Structure 1
Amino acid sequence: MGTVGALRTLAPDLLIDYLADTALFPYGEQPDHVLISRLVMLLTEATRLLGSTLVVIGCNTASTLALPALRQALDVPVVGQVPPIRWAGRVSRTRTIGLLATSATARRNYVRKLHTDFAADCRLIIHGGRALADLAERAFAGEDLPLTSIAHEVAQLFSQPGGENIDTIGLGCTHYTFLMPFFRQLGLRDVLWLDPAPAVAQQVLRLVNTSAAPPATARDSAPQSRRGVFLMTALPEHTAEFTSHLKAFGFSGCRAFTLSGACA
């Protein structure tokens, strides 16, 4: 949703459909082969049903695992979101960078390859765990989180060997965008926080602008035009409350989506 927020800022009229695989949250707890198969099936059906002309994988775990399979299976451009290690390697002065991620993303070979290819002269320190993802979900729901919980997770970076030299921390999970206000409250004045969501949004718009058939906008006057839909593989227990949080992202409600392609 962080990327959706960035897209809404840069292109308010862009037609965006969102598919949340809430039935399998969190992805970091699932076996790799299950995730790859499910992602291909879900997005093949969703793009067919919705007529999508571009797909954004708004999840680091999914991107680091399934991008090749998705690009092979889908006949539209696929934009992934991966940990901002390359960016961190460009801006770190101490050459020590931190990465906050899920445990699944942290163990990916893709992450090690990013480090080797783009920041080999930097020490990369990673903290991967589920706690921050859960906190981010609560932040999205508007909860006022205890700063001590956020500080405890971030401290897992600085407590590792060489952690005292960290001057740049990248967000390796798309949910963590919602924790940025809390990260900034920690008082780490010498630390630069890197959220890749705005950069991903800019890449999406570059592709849209160079496409022969760019996606429709919400203001199109054609009879077949429509508003973007928010689809979920498992609806939340308190749907009305959840829907109220979606309005800030341009969605009026949520609907159920199944692998049969049916929406309710």
Structure 2
Amino acid sequence: MAKVVIFDSGVGGLSIFSELVRLMPEASVVYASDNAAYPYGDKSERYLKTRVKACLDTLVQYHQPDMVVVACNTASTVVLPVLRAHFSIPVVGVVPAIKTAAQVTNNGVIGLLATPGTVTRVYTDDLIIRFAKHCDVIKVGSRVLVDLAEAKLRSQTVDLSRLKQELLPFEQAPVRPDTIVLGCTHFPLLLSELQQISPSIRWVDSGSAIARRVRTLLEQQKKLKPEHAGIYQAMFTANTTSVTQLKPYLFQLGFSALSILPIDEAFTVFSEPMAINAVTVS
């Protein structure tokens, strides 16, 4: 049976998880959240390279997956070359869907809504030069949307006024973008609210494309077995109140077990994974 590790600093990667299991219900998934170091968006590149590699070393050794998906735009734009050189299994990253946006825009103006780190990275500028050179690109970095998405999955009401405030740079532009890239995996979790505020905008993310890429690679490895149903586990690097608050949503998504794999700031695992009130699926 195919097994995939999806890795993120928070819960944004659950948007990738949903696309992946919709396309491949036969694949087993370990969703690993490095919530001890959340958020990644304000971390240095040096820190991220060390931290992400240390976490994935532990996860790959423990779970022996067929593939890793780095479901974090910030980490992907920094760490992918390091991970691909280090691991023998495929490592799939998530980058802003700028190419897609540039292909579907009608007025030639697109927006990029991502974390402050992602919008300022050279990697992002290179994507714009390669795929959207003919477009005007308005970049907006937001930390607020990450927090709103995290809160939403813990059953808290999304503050639409705060969300609207974050979109003002697009609304106040000389020419309003008709297409906006959701350049952080957290942001598709707020799609219904974004559509409510700006129904005429075409919102683009890379979730479905990533799922198709994972499926192609697993088919090449002949790992997919349609007769099997996937098993979904969630792991966190810190046992916090927010993890407990997240449990009902994880249950809805079909996760059968939650556990803690503590990894301290020195990037060392100091205990075996601890089960935390495993979710029972009836």
Residue of structure 1 equivalent to 2:254: 250
CA RMSD of aligned residues (A): 1.9
Residue of structure 1 equivalent to 2:17: 4
| Partners of 1:55 and 1:79 within 8 A in 2 | yes
How far apart in 1 are the matches of 2:140 and 2:179? 14
SS of corresponding position for 2:197: coil
Residue of structure 2 equivalent to 1:262: 272
Residue of structure 2 equivalent to 1:124: 137
Shift of 1:7: 1.4
1:179 and 2:183 correspond: no
Number of residue pairs matched by the alignment: 255
For residue 246 of structure 1, what is the amino acid of its counterpart?
L
Q: 1:196 aligns with which of 206, 209, 216?
A: 206
| Partners of 1:243 and 1:253 within 8 A in 2 | no
Deviations along 1:212-234, one digit per CA (max 9) or x if unpaired, are 4x2678937xxxxx833211111
Residue of structure 1 equivalent to 2:217: 207
| Partners of 1:15 and 1:217 within 8 A in 2 | no
Residue of structure 2 equivalent to 1:223: none
SS of corresponding position for 2:241: coil
Deviations along 1:232-256, one digit per CA (max 9) or x if unpaired, are 1112215443211111222133211
How far apart in 2 are the matches of 1:210 and 1:249? 27
Deviations along 1:108-127, one digit per CA (max 9) or x if unpaired, are 10100000011111111111
Residue of structure 1 equivalent to 2:65: 52
Scaled by the length of structure 2, the TM-score of the pair is 0.85
How far apart in 2 are the matches of 1:150 and 1:246? 24
Shift of 1:158: 2.7
1:166 and 2:151 correspond: no
How far apart in 2 are the matches of 1:69 and 1:218? 35
More strand by share: 2
For residue 100 of structure 1, what is the amino acid of its counterpart?
L
1:42 and 2:55 correspond: yes
How far apart in 2 are the matches of 1:60 and 1:126? 15
Stretch deviating more after TM superposition (238-247 or 171-180): 238-247
1:131-150 alignment to 2 at 5 Å? 131-150=144-163
Residue of structure 2 equivalent to 1:219: 228
How far apart in 2 are the matches of 1:5 and 1:218? 20
Shift of 1:9: 1.4
SS of corresponding position for 1:28: coil
| Partners of 1:4 and 1:249 within 8 A in 2 | no
Shift of 1:58: 0.4
SS of corresponding position for 1:16: strand
More helix by share: 1
Stretch deviating more after TM superposition (235-244 or 64-73): 235-244
Relative distance call for 1:73 and 1:217 in structure 2 (3 A) is: farther
How far apart in 1 are the matches of 2:53 and 2:85? 9
Deviations along 1:99-144, one digit per CA (max 9) or x if unpaired, are 1100111111010000001111111111102111001111222322
How far apart in 2 are the matches of 1:43 and 1:14? 19
Relative distance call for 1:230 and 1:46 in structure 2 (3 A) is: same
Scaled by the length of structure 1, the TM-score of the pair is 0.91
